[in-house]
Amino acid sequence: MKWILWALIFLAFFTPIVYIGKGVDHLDIMKDRYKRALDAGVSSAARAISYSSEGSLELIGNGFGEEEQSSNNIYIDTDNAMEWFYRVFYRNLGIEKDETAQQNIKRYIPMKAIASFDKLMIADVNDSWIEEYYYIINYNGTSYQFTMSDQVMMTSTGQWGRDVDFGISPATREKLINDFIRNKLNAFLNDREIADSNLQYYINITADDPQKTEVIRGISFIAMAEGMPLPTLNPFKNEKFYAFALGGTEIYRKTE
């Protein structure tokens, strides 16, 4: 009978360890699945932006803000981009037909944003586009309005030109825009009315080291997941999912 007793003791001690181990493996798999779903969602939204924006380029003349037809802005269908983000995100999580699950998980995406051609647009947890910032940046004591291309306007005179015309290198222009977007997104996420905890967020978007960080070089869709509960086999662990995802695209005029 002793061997039965020792067998029971072995099971009592080692079964929870095996079970928890499986739970840890399962958590890693779920984290990866959620991150891939988020990445796929923002990438699809970015592609939707490029498809819907291509036609509007034909209405743009030289792109230097001269008259309405030559506006430097490119039309962005924000609703279509948002729809594609959720459609692909839900599909990758396997909840495309479960509206209850969709509404549940949607509460944990407090920020969606579009870095468009000439401005940053930010939507809240309710998908309302509540903030908009043109890329108006001070450089060497002068205020400029930047775009995702080399087009730059000196705000004091309204004069448009290329970045190099104002003594701004393409690399400097890219860094200024990325820093601007990063600061606005961080400020939005760290608003205590938006955050679900006392965490401080720092989204590392910069052109300083493109090998280690996200870099925005074209029109992009951005999303932040905050505290999504992860399904787990470990009864002792309440794991949450936090992630930032960025999907970008470059839009070009058709050449004859």
As given in the structure block, the two tokens for residue 135 are 């890329």
CA distances from 248 to 27, 43, 216, 228, 238 (A): 28, 7, 7, 24, 33
Question: Measured between alpha carbons, how far is 38 from 17 in angstroms, rounded to an integer?
Answer: 32
Q: Which helix (H) or strand (E) holds 129?
A: strand 129-134
Please provide residue 202's backbone torsions phi and psi, each rounded to the nearest 5 degrees. Answer: -140, 100
Judged by DSSP in three states, 113 sits in strand
Angle between helices 78-93 and 2-54 (to 10 degrees): 160
The pLDDT profile of the chain, 256 residues, written as one tens digit per residue, is 555 544 444 444 444 444 444 444 467 778 888 889 999 999 989 888 865 555 444 444 455 554 444 445 567 889 999 999 999 999 999 999 999 999 999 999 999 999 988 899 999 999 999 999 999 999 999 999 998 888 899 999 988 899 999 999 999 999 999 999 999 998 998 875 655 556 677 777 654 544 444 677 788 899 988 888 876 655 556 778 788 888 866 544 444 4
